[in-house]
Amino acid sequence: MDQEFIIGVMITPIEDPENGFQQSVRKAAARMEAILADRLPNLKLEVFDFVGPHLTPAYGRYSPLELLQLGVIEKVERKPNFMLVVTEVGISSHLTTYSVALPSPLTNIGVISSKRLDPLFWNETADSDLLVQRLAGLMLHTTGRLLNLSRHPEPQNIMYRFEELADLEAMRQLTDHQVQQMAQALPAEARDRTAKKPARAFAVRSIFTNLRSIWRTVTRANPLRLATELPTFIAAAISLMVVIFFSTEIWDIGSTVELYQFIIFALLSIAIATFVVYRAHPLRTVATHTRRTSESLVVTNTAALLSLFLTLLVLFAAFWVLVYFGILTLFPRRLMETWPTVDPAVRTLDHIKISTFIAAMGTLVGSLGGRAENENLMRRILFVDVDF
């Protein structure tokens, strides 16, 4: 008998909507299950209510990170393999004017907003069945994104890249290749194992077993792009770097301290900065309520830490190049000879050491740049890099 997989549908009313919201979600889930039943009979849906989370909107919309955190907690405790968090409120978007769904393949959770799917929102005639059709299509599409299915050009396919919400009404079809992909992805992406503490060996096995998923998350997040989205971090770092660049003590240190000591200091600085930024991560725990270590949370935290570390490493490298360029082009050579009290700092090795130290200090100070910016970074890592 094939292993059974469960998609949890978490109905999450936030602003006390009418009962029609819950009914619409249940009907959409039933339609989705009926569509999947013919092609993937071992994939089931379980619908449950999660009423009354106390969340605070920003600019009239709610943070998908907070909804993701709720979904992760319930997924770990209720133990479905995948989760769709469906709410009636708007969720904030960074790439477009609004989002109706944000998938997080790393956590196996999709956050869905039904607000704009309702014809009433657009001052059209009330049609509850139309809302159900759109919601069912969106739930199918989000599930496909969680299972890493590629886009499909046919408007009737669940992975069609829809541009209008009305397109969701027709998105019901799965190709044989997609069914095969989903059948292979379900056991590989489930990540639902737990272990009693201490579970260091279990955590290490979980990391090595899911290296492909972890690396896929890192490449999707793209540390090079993430590094450009931290303006406060960069401004704070450069402000400090300019001050210490023109400090006499730095040139004394650069001419006397060994290079390996600077390298150790730089690595420690990047590691500390990584953990400072990591504070914005909403899923830092790896244990369930019963003190069992969760494979899903171990993998999520590992991918987040690796993405952050590589992002800060990119910034450190950029700062190093900037300082070294400044030494070669801006700093007076006579001061390199006269400021140090021990030896002149005129050698290339001295310049490399000074650049390493100043770049490390900039990275460390920049990590204190701002919590809101760090939360945006975590959102980029945890969610797929497209809003829809």
pLDDT at 113: 92
Is residue 313 in some structural domain?
yes
* Same-domain status, 130 and 42: yes
Neighbours of 99 (CB within 10 A): 22
* Same-domain status, 180 and 55: yes
* Same-domain status, 158 and 301: no
Would the pLDDT of 289 be above 70?
no
Would the pLDDT of 141 be above 50?
yes
Is residue 387 in some structural domain?
no
Would the pLDDT of 1 be above 60?
no
* Same-domain status, 331 and 225: yes
Q: Quick one: pLDDT band at residue 282, thresholds 50, 70, 90?
A: low
Q: Are 307 and 223 in contact (CB under 8 A)?
A: yes
Q: Where are the beta strands (DSSP E) in the chain?
A: 5-11, 43-49, 82-87, 101-104, 109-113, 194-196, 292-294
Q: Quick one: pLDDT band at residue 128, thresholds 50, 70, 90?
A: confident
pLDDT at 337: 79
What is the extent of the structural domain holding 271? 197-382
* Same-domain status, 117 and 237: no
* Same-domain status, 67 and 94: yes
Q: Quick one: pLDDT band at residue 256, thresholds 50, 70, 90?
A: confident
* Same-domain status, 181 and 205: no
Q: What is the CATH number of the domain that holds 71?
A: 3.40.390.10
Tokens representing residue 56 in the block: 């605070």
Is residue 298 in some structural domain?
yes
* Same-domain status, 127 and 66: yes
For the chain, the straight-line distance linking the first and the last C-alpha, in angstroms and rounded, comes to: 37
- Condensed to tens digits (0 to 9), the pLDDT of residues 147-194 reads 989 899 999 999 999 988 999 999 999 999 999 999 998 888 877 777
Domain count, the chain: 2
Is residue 323 in some structural domain?
yes
pLDDT at 66: 86
Would the pLDDT of 38 be above 90?
no
Is residue 15 in some structural domain?
yes
pTM over 0.75, yes/no? yes
Structural domain ending residue among the three candidates 169, 189, 209? 189
* Same-domain status, 148 and 288: no
Would the pLDDT of 125 be above 70?
yes
For residues 92 and 379, give the distance between their C-alpha atoms in angstroms, rounded to a whole number.
11
Is residue 214 in some structural domain?
yes
Tell me the Cα Rg of the chain. Answer: 25
pLDDT at 278: 83
* Same-domain status, 378 and 347: yes
